[in-house]
Amino acid sequence: GSFLVHDECQDTRCLTVRGKDSITHYKIQSQDGLFFIVEQTKFKMLQDLVYHYTTHQSSGVLVTTLRHPYYVPRGDDEVSRGDIQLTHKIGKGNYGDIWHGVKGETHVAVKIQNQGLASKSEFLQEATVLSQLDHPKIIHCEGVCSSEEPAYLLTEFLKFGNLVDYLQKGEGKDVHFLDLVSFGLQVAMGMAYLERQGYIHCDLAARSVAVGEGKLCKIQNFERARRASCYKLPPRTSVPVRWTAPEVFATNEYTNKADVWAFGVVLVEIITRGGRPYNHMTNEETLKAVQSGYRMSQPPSCPRGLYEVMLKCWCAESDSRVRFEALEWQLEEFFVSQCFEDRTYIAPFQTKH
């Protein structure tokens, strides 16, 4: 089920698919601005073609349904395992443990593949995504070790860890209120970039935000991210109930608008300094309440204007939810207006990059 879209020759693309016992190549044809493998099924965008064959049975067209992209490291991406010194475990991801490491003089976060949780190509899907992204609010890939088992994924290391831990028990326990707003704004900046690039994150939460020097925030945890307008979750995929939009439970499909819903929950986590969303409910109670129209109340320390931003993320109809582009400028306007009211506050970062 692993696959690779690549250039066969000039102006010609090829879809290579690994079946149970074979590797098959399919020519992706283009005509009148539409992409197709068979003429009966055409698509305006290449990622829509890939999504179709990911979410639908192949119907005799492909040898198997597509599952995940196969990662082919560039020459400068591959890192020798001997060049990495692991120091201590710092966390756990969806597909394995995360360690602090040193590569030369550079501190890195090292994700180590748990072969019982993910194949190598599934694990390296995150590297495929990160290699195509370049933004100051998105974590940077520092290389991979894919020639040996288990595989390693190296990303830049931000010293204060994830945003939840930073706010609950790290140096962020006593940060200024406007720092909290800036954290939300920085996440919105990164998500607006993903939106422009056609990506969905599929696992946005405060734990998926890393914090570095100068109160810098970067989005991380791209194991489930996809370049698609809609992503069909594989069967039996566990989802974080408190961050997941209600329509996902009905359709098993994740979209950019589900990311927007999750961002509203992230704002609650930030403003409550690492508080647990729906704190007095079980997961089952949370799901039933949200599906019945319940929304979290305005946190005590949250201004009305900021709470209204959260509510725009939680519209029951996904198409009615605000876009990240609008969230970015709304939060920036709120941030700037609050800075004018508090002349003693010095912003830790530039809002524009």
Q: Please, where are the H alpha helices in 215-272?
A: 246-251, 256-271
| pLDDT at site 353 | 46
The full set of domains in the chain, from first to last, is 2-69 (3.30.505.10), 81-156 (3.30.200.20), 163-341 (1.10.510.10)
Report helix angle 177-197 to 256-271, nearest 10: 170
Specify the higher pLDDT residue, 13 or 238.
Answer: 238
Residue 83 annotated in active site: no
Strands of 94-245, DSSP E: 96-103, 106-112, 141-145, 152-156, 199-200, 209-212, 216-219, 226-227, 230-232
State the catalytic residue, choosing from 76, 174, 203, 259: 203
- Mean pLDDT of all residues in 170-188: 94
Q: Please, where are the H alpha helices in 56-176?
A: 120-123, 125-130, 163-169
pLDDT digits (tens, 9 = 90+) for 82-105: 999 999 999 998 899 999 999 999
pLDDT confidence band for 154 (50 / 70 / 90): very high
| pLDDT at site 9 | 54
Report whether 169 belongs to an annotated binding site: no
Average pLDDT, the chain: 89
pLDDT digits (tens, 9 = 90+) for 230-274: 988 888 888 999 999 999 999 999 999 999 999 999 999 999 999
